[in-house]
Structure 1
Amino acid sequence: MDPRTRSLLAHADHPVAAPLGDDSVERLLRHALPATGGRVLDLGCGQGTWLLRALELVPGLVAEGVDVSEEALERARAAAEAAGTAHRLTLRRGAADTEAAALADAGDGPGYDTVLCVAASHAFGGLLPVLDACRRVLAPGGTVLVGDAYWEREPSAAARELLGAYEDLAGTVERITGQGWAPVHAHLSTRHELDDYEWCWTGSLTRWALDHPAHPDSPEALRAAAAHREGWLREYRDSFGFACFVLRRTAE
């Protein structure tokens, strides 16, 4: 099964591709977006969930999104058409890191008032490269909203192997501030948000496989859901955390 197709199926019941509830998404956006107007860019926008909510919250806001999945972008376009905000939304297909570099090199205008990158640091090779890419396209005085994993408790060796070399929360914040960023707001995903995300991910994929038993990808989807569920419950559920930070530069 193509990984992008699998991701879309797994997020059918949780279009925010991160462990965050709707209320948390709205609070973070209200802290990150300008009160009226402005430009927002989402690097790794997926189905455009964050951008669609931003356009709904801020009159006159203009939004741009970048993602590698054409199917996800088509869903974002359709949702924007249905919401009546398609005229304020531009979507680009491409790798987030490559498109961010191209936008920075183009120097199109003064930059973006808000840059989002939530649960997409893998596209850049880590949190600090994400922040560097955001800095290059950010308008003076602008705001970055970034979301990434951290270790809530000391993980097992298997958990580190599954998910990667994250820091604890204090270490994560120290890395961010060490690069010239100041947190002005943050949200730590709750146990309910973390568990809801994982049950939705594995459940949506499992349900699709059971509803399409004759599909050639059905057995693989079942295996992927079971493997993900096993790794979550046995290896990283008790140590994994997710944080979203609203950041400003300490010096321009």
Structure 2
Amino acid sequence: MDRTLISSIAHGDHPIAAPVSEDNLDRLLLRCELPEHARVLDLGCGQGAWSLQALDLYPAARADCVDVSEPALETLEAAAAELGFADRVLTHRVPAADFPVGSPYDLVMSVGATHAFGGLAATLAGMRPHVARDGVAIIGDGFWERPPTPEALAALGAEPGDFPDLAGVVAIAEEAGWAPVYGHVSDRAEWDDYEWSWTGTLTRWALDNPGPEADEALAAARRHRAEWLRGYRDVLGFVCLVLRKS
């Protein structure tokens, strides 16, 4: 079963696709203080929940949403149409790192998608040419809440140096020429809601759609749940930073 399809199904009940609550998503977007006719770029948008909420909060804004997942973009387009935002959203099925630089954007986001660029530092560098001089960026990525355990490293397929601590995330952003103007660190409740939603939604889909793909989906849900509960829970953190060019 294709990984992008698994991800699209698993995020069906939690389209924010990150351990961030709806209230904190609003708080992050409102801290951006966008102009009335803002242009928004979402690199690695998934189902586009961040962009759609930005359009709701800023009624004259427009968004370009970039992702490689066809199922996710189809879900985004359907949601935009249902919300009456279809004429304010353009989707682009290309790798986030390959989206061409053009007219600058007032807000550029990349949340939980640093793998598309090859890591946090590369993502911060890749976002920079897209952001207007007075614009803002939102980056969301993992960090070590505490020194990683062998179980956490095995679950994530990671090395200790793959993530910094929280201070290290801020330092990487500053070294890349960004100034943090706000931030949100996901709490345990946000993490648990995200992980239970991911595994539970995929499990429910598998139970409702028996067959070979359901078996694969069930296996993926069980594997993910074990990796979370026995591996990286309370070890891996997640932070979103609102950034301006320094």
Bucket of the pairwise TM-score, normalised by the shorter protein:
over 0.9
Residue 28 of structure 1 and its aligned partner are, at CA, apart by 0.6
**Is the contact between residue 67 and residue 93 of structure 1 (CA under 8 Å) also seen in structure 2?**
yes
Match of 1:182 in 2: 179
Q: Which amino acid aligns with 1:203?
A: G
Say yes or no: does 1:77 pair with 2:74.
Answer: no
What SS does the aligned partner of 2:212 have? coil
Say yes or no: does 1:125 pair with 2:122.
Answer: no
Alignment of 1:66-105 (within 5 A): 66-99=66-99, 103-104=100-101
Match of 2:230 in 1: 234
**Is the contact between residue 105 and residue 135 of structure 2 (CA under 8 Å) also seen in structure 1?**
yes
What SS does the aligned partner of 1:90 have? strand
**Is the contact between residue 117 and residue 146 of structure 1 (CA under 8 Å) also seen in structure 2?**
yes
**Is the contact between residue 127 and residue 148 of structure 1 (CA under 8 Å) also seen in structure 2?**
yes
**Is the contact between residue 151 and residue 230 of structure 2 (CA under 8 Å) also seen in structure 1?**
no
In structure 1, stretches of 5+ residues that fail to align are none
Alignment of 1:49-198 (within 5 A): 49-99=49-99, 103-104=100-101, 108-109=102-103, 111-163=104-156, 164=158, 165-198=162-195
Match of 2:5 in 1: 5
| Higher deviation after alignment, 151-160 or 199-208 | 151-160
**Is the contact between residue 97 and residue 117 of structure 2 (CA under 8 Å) also seen in structure 1?**
yes
Say yes or no: does 1:211 pair with 2:208.
Answer: yes
User: What whole-Å deviation, never above 9, does each CA across 1:118-137 have from its counterpart, x for those lacking one?
Assistant: 00001111011111111011
**Is the contact between residue 33 and residue 113 of structure 1 (CA under 8 Å) also seen in structure 2?**
no
Residue 208 of structure 1 and its aligned partner are, at CA, apart by 1.2
Residue 33 of structure 1 and its aligned partner are, at CA, apart by 4.6
Provide the rounded CA distance (Å) in 1 between the counterparts of 2:170 and 2:220.
33
Say yes or no: does 1:221 pair with 2:214.
Answer: no
- In the superposition, the TM-score normalised over structure 1's length comes to 0.93
User: What whole-Å deviation, never above 9, does each CA across 1:186-228 have from its counterpart, x for those lacking one?
Assistant: 0000110001111111111111111222x21111111111111
Provide the rounded CA distance (Å) in 2 between the counterparts of 1:126 and 1:178.
14
User: What whole-Å deviation, never above 9, does each CA across 1:25-62 have from its counterpart, x for those lacking one?
Assistant: 11111112514112110001111111111111112111
What SS does the aligned partner of 1:27 have? helix
**Is the contact between residue 153 and residue 231 of structure 2 (CA under 8 Å) also seen in structure 1?**
no
In structure 2, relative to structure 1, the CA distance for the partners of 1:117 and 1:237 (3 Å cut) is: same
- Give the share of equivalent positions with the same residue, in percent: 50
Q: Which amino acid aligns with 2:184?
A: H
- In the superposition, the TM-score normalised over structure 2's length comes to 0.95
- Name segments (4+ residues, structure 1) moved above 4 Å: none
**Is the contact between residue 36 and residue 58 of structure 1 (CA under 8 Å) also seen in structure 2?**
yes
Residue 158 of structure 1 and its aligned partner are, at CA, apart by 3.4
What SS does the aligned partner of 1:217 have? helix
Q: Which amino acid aligns with 1:170?
A: A
**Is the contact between residue 188 and residue 241 of structure 1 (CA under 8 Å) also seen in structure 2?**
yes
In structure 2, stretches of 5+ residues that fail to align are none
User: What whole-Å deviation, never above 9, does each CA across 1:2-32 have from its counterpart, x for those lacking one?
Assistant: 0011001111111111011100111111112
**Is the contact between residue 33 and residue 114 of structure 1 (CA under 8 Å) also seen in structure 2?**
no
